[in-house]
Amino acid sequence: MSVVFRKPDSMADVNTHYCPGCTHGIVHRLICEIIDEMGIEGDTIGICPVGCSVMAYDYFNCDMIEAPHGRAPAVATGVKRSLPDKFVFTYQGDGDLAAIGTAETIHAAARGENITIIFINNTTYGMTGGQMAPTTLPGQVTQTTPYGRDVEKAGYPVKMCEILAQVDGTALAQRVSVDSPKEVQIAKKAIRKAFQIQRDKKGFSIVEVLSTCPTNWGMSPVESLERLRKECIPYFPLGVYKDITAKENSND
């Protein structure tokens, strides 16, 4: 009998608290698959801050640390500098990383901290009820923008990969999606590369994952995937914004 499906050993066998149709679970599985395939479960430390990922420590069998809101890159910096041979990753949402944690994120990149950041962008504050986030699209209706985000008053969405690609200490900045099997496989390759960059001591890496939030978007899971494709991806184009290993490989 052939095995067609197997839960990663690094993923805990528990029920999830995420809403139906939420794509956090997909990203969790990808991370766990990579940890298993690289054989680094005992050498991996994850940092989860406030947000929908606040209880991510329930889902990973590797060591996990809870960080204050927005401070995951600062905590990860301390952990990595204390334990440089460990694999250290943060798992953050857009309200966390691109709002209260913007300074920590950018300065960790500027210092070239050898950590991996997994950035979930669902264009809303998920855990606290669907308020406008730094990544909320122009015109998007949220709890705090009932008539849609007005860029004249609230400014434009923050594009973190584009910003971090300009920072010298950034080794990898890539934006992916998980709206289809093809994109899920691309996302897995990006996350794997981010972990490999850390293994090779190349510096700071971030993988931004465009994700859904059916509950706060007021949509079914299927409708939310369609919105992701038709609205989010055009505004936040997928792709590699910086990859120092690509330049190194081209010079070989």
The DSSP result for 18-44, as a single string, is SPTT-SHHHHHHHHHHHHHHHT-GGGE
Distances (CA, A) of 133 to 47, 115, 143: 21, 25, 10
Report how far residue 136's alpha carbon sits from residue 187's, in angstroms, rounded to the nearest whole number: 22
Residue 248: per-residue pLDDT: 67
Q: Is 43 exposed, middle or buried (0-12, 13-18, 19+ CB in 10 A)?
A: middle
Pairing between β-strand 44-48 and β-strand 170-177 as defined by DSSP bridges: unpaired
Q: What is the token pair recorded at 151?
A: 């860029």
What amino acid is encoded at 1 in this protein?
Answer: M
CATH number of 24-251: 3.40.50.970
Spell out the domain ranges in the chain.
24-251
In 3D, which of 218, 216, 210, 214 has the Cα closest to residue 183?
210
Residue 250: per-residue pLDDT: 60
Report how far residue 243's alpha carbon sits from residue 215's, in angstroms, rounded to the nearest whole number: 34
Residue 21: per-residue pLDDT: 92
Find out whether 135 and 157 touch, Cβ atoms under 8 Å: yes
> Could you read off the pLDDT tens digit of each residue along the chain, which spans 252 residues?
787 778 999 999 999 999 999 999 999 999 999 999 999 999 999 999 988 888 888 999 999 999 999 999 999 999 999 999 999 999 999 989 999 999 999 999 999 999 999 999 999 998 888 899 999 999 999 999 999 999 999 999 999 999 999 999 999 999 999 999 999 999 999 999 999 999 999 999 999 999 999 999 999 999 999 999 999 999 999 999 999 998 766 655
